[in-house]
Structure 1
Amino acid sequence: MTQVIEYFFSISSPWAYLGAERLVTLARRHNLRIRPLLMTTIDEHGWIPLKNKPPVRQRYVRSEIGRWSRHLGVPMQTDNRPSDLKDPTPAAMMVVAAETTGAEGMPLALALQRAYWESAADIGATQIRREIADANGYDGQRLLSCEQAQAVGERWNENRARAIECGVFGSPTYLFEGELYWGQDRLDFLERHIVTGAPV
């Protein structure tokens, strides 16, 4: 039976994007399945969005994102992003819609994140989401029509409930064999766990 990495993340998280391709490569290397569980912040566990942190912390985090972007060779447009970008949550709902209709969610999530972080695309906009989905082999219009479906809302709530149950408090978080690894900089620890069969 194929083992599973449960992947808890926010579609707009820069840290999730910085680790996304490496997670996919890691899973492929070890013949594991990724179960994407998209969500937003979990206030109950102290998850504080960057915009709600003090200005000094915001400046430092943005600097760190730039460092990691350069270190990993992952292009990101972090400066001079448009101020009128819409809430990207609907993009997460599109990925959940793909999952509920039997499609793979991870490739779509990656495409949306790449557009959001590399090009500052407004993935909260309906037309932009549809174009990205279509360009990546999905039926964009069908997914748009499913975003508000009951099954999608139920899956969204289940993702959040699962995250709370597991003690998730940030994005990205990887759960493997009952062990949580928070942050893209913990992917080496996750892989060591996979290889050795024991938590680091």
Structure 2
Amino acid sequence: MAKTCDYYFAPPSPWAYLGHERFVAMANKAGVAVNLKPCDIGKVFSVSGGLPLAKRPPQRQAYRLLELKRWSEHLGIPLNLQPKFFPVGGDPAAKLIIATQLAHGTSAALKLTGAVMRAVWAEERNISDADTLVAIANECGHDGKSLLKSSETASVQAEYDRNTEDAMAANVFGAPWYVVDGEGFWGQDRLEFVERALYR
């Protein structure tokens, strides 16, 4: 039976952005099926002791910026440390990704996910804005208006809620979070360990 990897993330997460393309390439190389699970990280934080960025102590906020700069430079991935549209609500983008997966499959949804993340962190675009989401979907070769309409349905909301419940059940407390063979890995800096797990 083919190995799978659960991929929990929130579209506005800079850490998910920094790891996304590497993870997708890694999963493709290993022939692993990705269970794409965008989730409501705010609800996950509420049961796991996490704090929204604005409520974290200044020391932690300052170190976060330092680490983001280090990783952006190390990986050669463009990243605005303080983008124009952040913090930003991730629900509309997450539901658009789910709608894309349901209509066009996981590969298409993974591609859209990368585009949404780049929009926040490299392109100064507002991913909570409906017109922006339509444009991003169009740029990925989809009918953005149709997907946005689908993303607002009860079935997509139910899937989003289920992903969030699954995250809490899997003891997720941050993003990105990868689960291979029941073992969780937190953060894009753990991708080396994720890769090893994919070949076990």
TM-score, scaled to structure 1: 0.92
Question: Which secondary structure state, in structure 2, belongs to the residue aligned with residue 75 of structure 1?
Answer: coil
* Aligned mate of 2:61, from 58, 63, 68: 58
Structure having the larger proportion of residues in helix: 2
Q: Could you list the per-position Cα deviations for residues 70-113 of structure 1 after superposition, in whole angstroms to 9, with x for gaps in the alignment?
A: 0111101113x326875232111111111232433111111111
Name the SS of the counterpart of 1:101 in structure 2: helix
**Identity level (%):** 34
Q: Which residue of 2 aligns with 1:194?
A: 198
**Are the counterparts in 2 of residues 5 and 33 from structure 1 also a CA contact under 8 Å?**
yes
In structure 2, the residue matched to 1:162 is 166
Give yes or no for the alignment of 1:125 onto 2:119: no
Bigger relative contact order (CA 8 A; separation at least 6): 2
Measured at CA, do residues 160 and 83 of structure 1 come closer, stay the same or move farther in structure 2, by a change above 3 Å?
closer
1:99 partner letter: Q
C-alpha contact 2:8 2:36 (8 A) present in aligned 1? yes
Matches within 5 A, 1:28-177: 28-41=28-41, 42=44, 43-79=46-82, 81-82=83-84, 87-104=89-106, 105-177=109-181
Which ranges in structure 2 are unaligned for 5 or more consecutive residues?
none
The 3-state SS of whatever aligns with 1:63 is: helix
Mind listing any 5+ residue stretches in structure 1 that lack a counterpart? none
Q: Is the 8 A contact 1:39 1:160 kept in 2?
A: yes
Q: Which one-letter code corresponds to 1:32 in the other structure?
A: V
Cα 1:113–1:35 change in 2 (3 A) is same
